[in-house]
Structure 1
Amino acid sequence: MAVFWKAITGGLLLALLGWRAEGQENRAGKKEVSGRSTLNLGQERDIWRPLIHTAVNLSEISSIKSTFQFRTFDPEGAIFYGDTKGGDDWFVLSLKDGLPLMQISKEDMLVSVTGGPKLNDGKWHTLEVSNQGKFVVLEVDGSSGLVVGMQSKKEELPISSELRLALGGVLIGPEKLIVQFEPQMDGCVREGSWLNLSVPWEAVTEELWPCYQNVRPGSYFSGMGFAVFNTSVFPIKADDGVTFELWGDLTNMDGTIMSIKAPEQQLMFAIVANKNTKEVTLTFGVEQFTMTDAFERLVITFQTDLMQVIQVGDESKTTRFPISPTDQPAYLSAWAEGHLAFGGLLGEGEDNTGSQFLTGCLERIQVQARDLDLDFAVKHSSISSHSCPE
């Protein structure tokens, strides 16, 4: 099976000083781009659907390697896919836990291998994939990353079909994968050299998101929407309580940072930042608390009889609010049946729209001491889960 590439850049969606994928429409009205374009793999679409794809007859292939540059802070997602025989033989390169993961199906063989250096460090890396006889080789920055050996007992017949290539998704059913992974990738690819081919690639959308030139880790909210979780995915016992931790300069943000609400109940909790006044206001039921001091991290703990707020900075500050017995049922039911939103205020309507959406970067979010991945939320397409523009 022949292999493919070259690409890179991490970043996300709007456009600061970044690169765009240049393209034009083909006769069918589909946008075509060059394989060397800089592409933001995080663009909104069906999660398994590739961002761009192309096809070529195997007889036109003169090279058995592909190179590209790649950048991301995302630990998991689909990068590159190729297949022959209409998808019977296929290859997938992705990340899982930050490590390269190659999965290959060929004739009677299914193989997966994970290893090499972690690639979700936000730096540009040059990747090369080549087919060397019975081996598929992945090189990272000029050094060997992964080597997969494959030999079938069946006689290999000449292949006279087309080769399909895709970035940011797969062209087979994900149930065929040996190792399942979350496909959404907040990352960028550039400078692709795909089997030395010059054929154009077809994009799934008319406008392609740019990649920021410089990025840093975090979740970026552009002020256009929010991310919502069901609180039931974070089960708690009544006596254990629940803890949230938010990293970042909240006083430099603008809009609703976080809110909690159960259906047909009053808003339980909200944090709203005002960039102009440098104030962060916390609302819990009828209680309201305004913070004006700069801090690096905010820790909020709900327990049966109190809510505790810790502002962590040069001088940490702790504030406690009692929870009365009459408020306890509302607090517990809101957590058992409600919604947790980041970047917006949960409202009364079915569309859950409320006050001003957040503009800013949350460097890190934890719930119950575990990092929260916004890829698992129902979120607006403008939110980038793992990177913020510098």
Structure 2
Amino acid sequence: MNHLNEAVILLLGLYLILLCRRVSGDQISGKGVVNLAHRQSKWTPLMQTSANLSDITSIRSSFEFRTFDPEGAIFYGDTKEGQDWFVLSLRDGIPEMQIGKADILVSVKGGHKLNDGAWHLLELRSEGKFVVLEVNNKEELVVGLHSKLTEEELTGKIRLAVGGMLVDKQKLFHPFQPEMDACIRGGHWLNLSTPWDTDSTWEPRPCFSEIKRGSYFPGTGVAVFNTSDLPGLKTEEAGITVEIFGSWTGTALSLQSTGFQYILEELDGHKDVKEVQLGLKEGSESVDLPREPATLTFTILKHSLVVNSKSELETESLDFFTMWKKGMLLTFGGMPGDSEATKSTHHLRGCLEKILVQGQVIDLDRALYKHAAVSSHSCPTEAMNELT
């Protein structure tokens, strides 16, 4: 990540002050429906439990799993306080198992893509020196390993975790992005029936009954990017383009730096237009934009900002290309610093089916900050129907 300039650091600092977290975790059943998204912690597991190995009669766990997310942590287990560990994740939608055991590190990826939005039955089991992943009652991955340094008989505790890891991410043979916008249900974890401890930052939210691809904003929360981390300028003539596809109301995006802010929002009472607001130290101005709910193209030129090739705001005093490269806050869903304790008419509500910057798809899991209420990869189909 590039270094933020002082202005962006100040803006982000003020924004993060407004965030609130739960001070303690709860206990939940591992058998119900659990949404793995909607939390601030990245690597800390959403839920975890432990048991004495002497109480375990079957090294077998199964659960149903559903996601559109191509990458993230699903299931983790370890013994010897993390000296021997295992993690199941997705990479490019394909299952990947990584195992650390004594002097051995193993990473194996294979099988069918699971990020199709359908429910899949996953089973993980140990068969001697082999770990087996079964998907929908068919073997997808079989990993075998052996070390002369390991003990044949294990004692002590076994730890299980969902949605993260209990060991340092530096131990991974093949690093990945841990955030997982997914749901699990019907879990059978070894032969354990004890409740699971949850991450203190997690706020339980229901799983959507039917989903489609996209990023869902429920009317509270934003996703903030530093522009210096995003694709940059190719040619001055073409500028820098941000494209949004979907259906929504409220603030689509904002651009902010010291003494400058740009807000693109649909205001109350303007059902047929969107209003672009440009605020500068010297004053502010706005123009009306015909509403096109299916797509929005925001183009940044050296001294001007253009929306859908129809509305242009110019300011010779600012060099937007230089500002983009040095770092501004590009925010989807609202303005950094807005109160997020309750839903706001200014915050975006709806589904952004796709976000492109310079033609590249932007993953909200890579944001500098994303509010826990925002779903990175799934939208409820019923919410889409309400907005169309």
TM interval, short-chain normalised: 0.7 to 0.9
Distance 1:273 1:109, change over 3 A: same
Distance in 2 between residues matched to 1:123 and 1:385, nearest whole Å: 17
Distance 1:322 1:169, change over 3 A: closer
Q: Offset of 1:69 from its aligned partner? A: 0.5
Q: Secondary structure at the match of 2:179?
A: coil
Distance 1:247 1:182, change over 3 A: same
1:91 aligned onto 2:86: yes
**Residue 222 of structure 2 aligns with which residue?**
226
Q: Offset of 1:242 from its aligned partner? A: 0.5
Distance in 1 between residues matched to 2:162 and 2:204, nearest whole Å: 13
Distance 1:195 1:346, change over 3 A: closer
Residues 261, 334 of structure 1: 8 Å contact kept: no
**Residue 332 of structure 2 aligns with which residue?**
342
**Residue 9 of structure 1 aligns with which residue?**
none
**Residue 62 of structure 1 aligns with which residue?**
57
**Residue 270 of structure 1 aligns with which residue?**
263
Q: Deviations over 1:226-259 (max 9, x none)?
A: 121111113336725201110012xxx3321101
Distance 1:304 1:176, change over 3 A: same
**Residue 279 of structure 1 aligns with which residue?**
273
Q: Secondary structure at the match of 1:335?
A: helix
**Residue 199 of structure 2 aligns with which residue?**
204
Structure 2: gaps (5+ residues)? 1-23, 382-388
Letter in 2 for 1:135: F
Distance in 2 between residues matched to 1:331 and 1:216, nearest whole Å: 35
Residues 306, 320 of structure 1: 8 Å contact kept: no
Distance in 1 between residues matched to 2:49 and 2:338, nearest whole Å: 45
1:130-149 maps to which residues of 2 (within 5 A)?
130-149=125-144
Distance 1:202 1:305, change over 3 A: closer
**Residue 6 of structure 1 aligns with which residue?**
none
Residues 344, 355 of structure 1: 8 Å contact kept: no
Letter in 2 for 1:236: L
Residues 280, 290 of structure 1: 8 Å contact kept: yes
**Residue 369 of structure 1 aligns with which residue?**
359
- Larger CA deviation: 66-75 vs 240-249: 240-249
Q: Offset of 1:372 from its aligned partner? A: 0.9
Distance in 2 between residues matched to 1:50 and 1:344, nearest whole Å: 29
Distance 1:167 1:348, change over 3 A: closer
**Residue 233 of structure 2 aligns with which residue?**
236
1:247 to 245, 248, 263: 245
Distance 1:103 1:149, change over 3 A: same
Structure 1: gaps (5+ residues)? 1-28, 311-317
TM-score (norm 2): 0.81
Q: Offset of 1:373 from its aligned partner? A: 1.2
Percent of aligned pairs sharing the same letter? 45
Distance in 1 between residues matched to 2:196 and 2:338, nearest whole Å: 44
Distance in 2 between residues matched to 1:332 and 1:348, nearest whole Å: 26
1:290 to 288, 298, 319: 288
Letter in 1 for 2:298: I
Q: Deviations over 1:153-179 (max 9, x none)?
A: 446331111110011111101111111
TM-score (norm 1): 0.81
CA-atom RMSD in angstroms? 2.6
Q: Secondary structure at the match of 1:67?
A: strand
Letter in 1 for 2:363: D
Distance in 1 between residues matched to 2:196 and 2:360, nearest whole Å: 39
Distance 1:189 1:359, change over 3 A: same
Q: Deviations over 1:67-111 (max 9, x none)?
A: 110111111111110000111000001111211110001122110
Letter in 2 for 1:371: V
Distance in 2 between residues matched to 1:247 and 1:308, nearest whole Å: 17
**Residue 178 of structure 1 aligns with which residue?**
173
Distance in 2 between residues matched to 1:284 and 1:231, nearest whole Å: 18
Letter in 2 for 1:321: E
Alignment: residue pair count: 344
Distance in 2 between residues matched to 1:308 and 1:207, nearest whole Å: 38
Residues 262, 335 of structure 1: 8 Å contact kept: no
Distance in 1 between residues matched to 2:244 and 2:285, nearest whole Å: 20
- Larger CA deviation: 164-173 vs 370-379: 370-379
Distance 1:181 1:290, change over 3 A: same
